[in-house]
Copies of this chain bind each other. A is one copy, B any other.
Amino acid sequence: MIKAPGQRTRARRLQEKARHDHASGQAVRDAMPLAHAGHLVDGAPVVTPTLQRRERDRVCWHGSSAGRMIRACAAAQVRLTVTRVDGLVLARSGLEHSVAHRCVMVFGVAEPVPDAARPAHPEAMRQRLVPGRWPLLRPMTAQDIKATAVLSLPVDKASGKIGAGVPSDPEADMGWPVWAGVVPLRLQMDPPQAGPGCQPGLPEPKARFGETR
């Protein structure tokens, strides 16, 4: 429903590619580590940003063991939505303007990852974002591991949507004399900036945050 500013007819909506297969869902999750977790607090919906990654047929995320998000999500109904924006679709009428995007939603009852499996999650999440960095870090302590809770959802209940990447004006509007097309948007990673106390001469990290196109 990410549209700007109009929306489409039912027929047109059906023309958009609704992808529900696992491969497409995983491709979207790989393209965007950021997710938004929907859960309930006192009966009201709450939406919290978090990072996600796949572990076999489950999607995993984590947070402070004492934090509100983890406590609200554990053993509760959760919806994890991942949205990647690819561009602005500029049509000939306001109604047909839209955002080119890919979105996948996974839902179900979130399960806490057992204690024995928890240490593997931070390592896998780090390695996904900065391959090769984990072995260089100060090793995790028992306290570090205890402080971090990990949740997961099976990916078998999921829905997806890939919004059209080109304007879909009706025939009657095609001659309207205004530029129509797409303005591409992507996540750009800039050169690393050393922080306070960073020793000179240490190798800079090679990070990635989903696909960079």
| Chain A residues near B (Cβ < 8 Å) | 1-10, 13, 33-34, 36-40, 43-51, 62-70, 77-81, 83, 85, 88, 90, 92-95, 97, 99, 101, 103, 105, 107, 121-123, 125-126, 129-130, 133-134, 136-140, 144, 147-148, 166-167, 169, 173-174, 176-199, 202-205, 207, 209
Q: In the bound complex, do residue A90 and residue B205 qualify as a contact, i.e. CB atoms below 8 Å apart?
A: yes
A133 CB contacts on chain B under 8 angstroms: 90, 178
Q: In the bound complex, do residue B94 and residue A3 qualify as a contact, i.e. CB atoms below 8 Å apart?
A: no
Identify the interface centre among A36, A129, A207: most chain B CB within 10 Å of its CB. Answer: A36
Q: In the bound complex, do residue B137 and residue A92 qualify as a contact, i.e. CB atoms below 8 Å apart?
A: yes
Shortest Cβ distance from A75 into chain B, in angstroms? Answer: 14
Known: A93-B144, A137-B94, A181-B193. A66 touches B10 (CB 8 A): yes
Q: In the bound complex, do residue A190 and residue B186 qualify as a contact, i.e. CB atoms below 8 Å apart?
A: yes
Known: A7-B147, A187-B187. A194 touches B207 (CB 8 A): no
Q: In the bound complex, do residue B36 and residue A47 qualify as a contact, i.e. CB atoms below 8 Å apart?
A: yes
- Chain A at the B interface: SS class: mixed
How many copies of this chain are found per oligomer?
A: 2
Residue of B at shortest CB range from A37?
B47
Q: In the bound complex, do residue A93 and residue B140 qualify as a contact, i.e. CB atoms below 8 Å apart?
A: yes
A144 CB contacts on chain B under 8 angstroms: 6, 93-95
**Per a CB cutoff under 8 Å, which of B85, B136, B169 touches A178?**
B136
CB pairs A–B below 8 angstroms (5 shown): A6-B147, A45-B77, A85-B187, A180-B194, A184-B193
Shortest Cβ distance from A153 into chain B, in angstroms? Answer: 12
Residue of B at shortest CB range from A89?
B195
Q: In the bound complex, do residue B147 and residue A94 qualify as a contact, i.e. CB atoms below 8 Å apart?
A: no
A167 CB contacts on chain B under 8 angstroms: 195-196
Known: A189-B183, A192-B183. A50 touches B2 (CB 8 A): yes
A10 CB contacts on chain B under 8 angstroms: 66
